[in-house]
Amino acid sequence: MRPHRRMSCTCLAVPAWTAGWRRWRSIKRAAHAGSSPACGTERAEAVLASQGIIVPTTADMARTLMVDHLGVPADAVEVLRDPMDNTAHEAVMIEARARRDGWTRIVVITTRAATRRAGYAFRRVLGDDIQIVMRDTRYDDYDAVWWWRTRGDFRQTFIEFPKLMAYWLGLGA
């Protein structure tokens, strides 16, 4: 794994499917280094909401964690509320904001296993005029070189590979 270097960007994208405490430590470091706003995306809890049950979404909990516990400024965090089905759809939602606000570079922090697929999805949607920089979190223990040695890495690889193949075939968004 290469060491991370600090870089500035006009957007720090945090896809909803990138769950876990390891990611939040990376987001905190990036946000404090001047990368903002952070765009958290979510999938609505429609069934519970239809029954009048208010459940904080993953994005709401992530925002609370970033602002209340990691010290990320509240105005640096924006939650995109539209329901999204996949990574490419998240990229489409971020693209609208990026084009409107003239963003030139987006850093996407995701799991180590998802970096190739997510990078492909974001680059396919955003094209060449917005630079996409993929970063995994240094706290992720997935080993892409020796992925077959542990059950967890094996599982992650075989979850990510079909998704990558789907994107290569033009599916998604």
Nearest residue to 26 (alpha-carbon basis) of 162, 18, 88: 18
Q: What is the pLDDT of residue 42?
A: 40
Query: Among 19-23, 44-48, 107-111, whose mean pLDDT is lowest?
Result: 19-23
Percent of the chain topping pLDDT 90: 36
Asked if residue 118 lies in contact with residue 112, where contact means CB atoms within 8 angstroms, the answer is no
In which band, very low, low, confident or very high, does the pLDDT at 4 lie, cut at 50, 70 and 90?
Answer: low
In CATH, what is the architecture of 11-168? 3-Layer(aba) Sandwich (3.40)
Task: List the domain boundaries for the chain.
Answer: 11-168
Give me the pLDDT at residue 41, please.
41
Residue 137: helix, strand or coil by DSSP? Answer: coil
Q: Which pLDDT belongs to residue 105?
A: 94
pTM summary value: 0.67
What radius of gyration do the chain's Cα atoms show? 16
Tokens, residue 42: 């979510």
Tens of pLDDT, residue by residue over 78-99, are 887 777 778 888 899 899 889 9
